A = this chain, B = another copy of it.
């Protein structure tokens, strides 16, 4: 048989139809998280689950799957990194995954995770892991079964099968290796910083920063780095995120804290990084793999790059500091650029992942990555999880949570069934540093550009190397092609040492 254009058009149309309904549901969820009246929740849940059900039925349709299978076997001389091959490969991968999960398991998991998030929320408020224990055990069991079914007949472990949903083709061993490569020099750096001769003044960032000023400044920054407000908007919510509601409609959300300036401002840089990735994809492939993000690790590399490599750099603040002072005058009038820059680069082991700095953050991730493998593998019982958690925080970060709410109950992920998701955060950190190095090598003096408020050369570079490639290649392959090297810990370690040692008065 030869490649059938008709068949291709059918599956593309079918997938685009599913995406249309998915973006409708996503719009409803965006609304729910930005300002839906509180009593609207019940009906909204019914609307969203009805739509998600319609999407799921479309995505698991038998004829659709058979056609994808047949297309996949008859790709002929299509370029494997081309749009057509990527479309067939990506859609078939998703279909197979969905197809291996019986409706019953999907439904039980959906129910368990809805309940899970409610129980988790209540348990966290009550500071009582016991309230969450049974639901978590049920979720772990369901995810283990899902992993086993997806992995069946392959050489993957059930955990790898779960990981694959967020980071296609990722394997545990190489991940473990790169995380260990990162861990040792990172701990050395953090230890050195703990005893460093100079320390930043965190309190500079804890003054009163009027929310109206934060809003103006955040919007200015998002617009300046290249987030397109004609095809997007910036709103506020309690748990920041980025969601794409159409080929030219990307919504980013942030959260302002009166007494912690980085939350809103660098939070906006982070979400704008996600948003610019979404806006940088090719609209004509919207809803299909060539116009979809490559992996969560790659997605996170974009947010981290703008938040950290750009947003915590000195040249960026050379550009923005005077405006920041003016926005909040006279709050920062007595503060120097150097002191401010040092403060936003404070490194300090702490209990809460989402509040962690860019160095210690990765230690939080490695703990979760290790523990969730043990949970899925069955070698760590849910009852033993809190103790294991606390022990790792003590040994890895040298901190101990006073209670479960600040410890094992801090993240929503597991309660939502997101297992295999955490490592993508650190993959993003690694990739952001490596991509930034490569961009700097090609583009020249990025620092002077930032100091002059010029960000488009960097964004353009990311567009052509990453955004416009969609899922035409794997994450590994994208990184290799864009940077000339496989992903490693080298760039991130070099970047952190290069920035932090001088700041803290440590010898290079």
Q: When the two chains form the complex, which single residue of B44, B228, B232 contacts A249, counting CB atoms closer than 8 Å?
A: B44
Nearest chain B CB to A325's CB is how many angstroms away? 25
Query: Least Cβ distance of A50 to chain B in Å?
Result: 6
Q: How far is the CB of A216 from chain B (nearest CB, A)?
A: 15
Q: Which residue of B lies closest to A251 (CB)?
A: B37
**A363 contacts partner chain B, Cβ-Cβ < 8 Å:** no
Residues of the B chain whose Cβ atoms lie less than 8 Å from the Cβ of A249: 36-37, 39-40, 43-44
User: CB of A333 within 8 A of chain B?
Assistant: no
Q: A23 near B: Cβ within 8 Å?
A: yes
Asked if residues B247 and A37 are in contact (CB atoms below 8 Å), the reply is no
Which of A24-32, A90-98, A351-359, A472-480 faces chain B? A24-32
Q: Provided the pairs A27-B27, A28-B27, A31-B31 are in contact, do residues A248 and B37 lie with their beta carbons within 8 angstroms?
A: yes
Judge if A1 is at the interface, Cβ distance under 8 Å. no
Residue of B nearest to A23 (CB): B47
- Contact partner of A231 (CB less than 8 A), chosen from B37, B50, B247, is B37
Is B246 a contact of A38 with CB atoms below 8 Å?
Answer: no
A: interface residue count bin: 20 to 34
Contacts of A228 in B (CB 8 A): 39
With the chains together, A51 CA to B27 CA distance in Å? Answer: 14
Does A402 reach chain B (CB closer than 8 Å)?
A: no
In the complex, the count of this chain's copies comes to: 2
A233 at the interface (CB under 8 A from B): yes
Q: What residues on B are CB-neighbors of A20 within 8 Å?
A: 46-47, 50
Q: Mark each residue of chain A from 237 to 249: 1 if its CB lies under 8 Å from any CB of chain B, else 0.
A: 0000000011111
Q: How far is the CA of A230 from the CA of B39 in the complex (A)?
A: 6
B-chain residues with CB within 8 Å of residue A233 when the two chains form the complex: 35-37
A42 at the interface (CB under 8 A from B): yes
Q: How far is the CB of A274 from chain B (nearest CB, A)?
A: 16
A/B interface sample: 22 pairs, CB < 8 A: A20-B46, A23-B43, A24-B24, A24-B28, A24-B47, A24-B51, A27-B27, A27-B28, A27-B31, A31-B31, A35-B233, A37-B231, A37-B248, A37-B250, A38-B230, A39-B231, A39-B249, A40-B245, A40-B249, A43-B245, A44-B246, A47-B246
For the complex with contacts A20-B50, A39-B248, A40-B248, 16 further pairs of A-B residues with Cβ separation under 8 Å are: A23-B43, A23-B47, A24-B24, A24-B28, A24-B47, A27-B27, A27-B31, A37-B233, A37-B248, A37-B249, A38-B230, A40-B246, A43-B246, A43-B247, A43-B248, A43-B249
